Chains A and B, each alone.
Chain A
Amino acid sequence: MDIASLFDDVKRMNKRQFLYQVLSFGMIVSSALMIWKGLMVVTGSESPIVVVLSGSMEPAFHRGDLLFLTNYPDEPVRVGEIVVFKVEGRDIPIVHRVLKLHERENGTVKFLTKGDNNSVDDRGLYAPGQLWLTKRDVVGRARGFLPYVGMVTILMNEYPKFKVWF
């Protein structure tokens, strides 16, 4: 199938039909955006669905597992919870467990995390000079789990040729 025949369908359409196709495509894109933004509002997290990209939480989470996050401000972070956080200077969020946590009476917290599969805590991963994470760094708390589904994104990131198939 060459490219010329790909647009034959488009050529046969009249203006109205073409416009209708464009509109329904826009509808699909905008509803996907709406679902994502709606999830952001419902869960309070800036990215409510996250793919685990490293093996640092094995045997709980493997690469390519999908996590659903919530981040309600009135729900306190507790020790032993699995949090997803972003560190300045790294664009990939990290999924690790809370190891130590200090909470002041006014509700501000600072905490230290560690991956289940790592032998040391995460101070080496944080930004230089950063000893604790605060609520600002948190993307969300892991609430739901779906294995293997995120493998598609990992494949697409690591083998860009795979993307051409779609």
Chain B
Amino acid sequence: MHSILQRGNAILAYTLSVLACLTFVCFASTVLLNYRTHADLNTVKVVVYVVLWDKIILRGENAVLDFKNMNTKYYFWDDGNGLKGNNNITLTLSWNIIPNAGLLPNIFAHGSHSFQFPVDYTTSRM
């Protein structure tokens, strides 16, 4: 009788050829079916995500952050005029972890802060 390795080899070779056939069939079917086009919903509604501030903390540095009266590090701009009178500005905090080696998780902190921007520009310093 054939040894286990020979049987395994036969099974693997057979799986490979079946996979190759399946791949070709799938490829052919997508070529045939992909004629549908997606309608472009030309809506103006836009969600904007902007980074206002960031900080790099190296391993071993103090990771307890306590800041007051800070300025934003990056300009709070959007590409248009969606900020004036916007009634849903939400501030969130998230961070990346760069490990020695491994996955790169992107973690969102619990909680957030929402506020509104006034309809008119301020004329004096707040």
Contacts and interface: CB of A to CB of B under 8 A. Distances in A.
A36 interface: no
B38 to A, nearest CB: 9
A99 B51 contact: yes
A79 B43 contact: no
B46 A60 contact: no
B40 interface: yes
Interface stretch (A13-21, A43-51, A100-108): A100-108
B48 A80 contact: no
Interface in A52-71: 59-61
B102 A144 contact: yes
A144 B94 CA distance: 18
Interface residues of A, number: 26
Contacts of B48: 100-103
B72 interface: no
Interface string A78-92: 111110000000000
A99 B78 CA distance: 12
Contact of A80 (B42, B51, B78, B98): B51
Interface in B94-126: 94-96, 98-104, 106
A100 B40 contact: no
Contacts of B104: 82, 142-145
> Which range holds the interface residue count of chain B?
20 to 34
Interface in A128-166: 132, 142-147
Nearest to B103: A144
B86 to A, nearest CB: 14
B50 interface: yes
Contact of B103 (A78, A101, A102, A143): A143
B46 A80 contact: no
B1 interface: no
Contacts of B79: 100, 102, 110, 132
Interface of A: 59-61, 78-82, 98-106, 110, 116, 132, 142-147
Given A60-B56, A80-B106, A104-B46, 10 more contacts: A60-B96, A79-B50, A82-B96, A98-B51, A99-B50, A102-B46, A102-B47, A102-B48, A144-B104, A147-B101
14 contacts: A60-B56, A61-B98, A79-B49, A80-B51, A80-B96, A81-B106, A100-B78, A100-B79, A102-B48, A103-B49, A106-B42, A143-B103, A145-B99, A145-B102
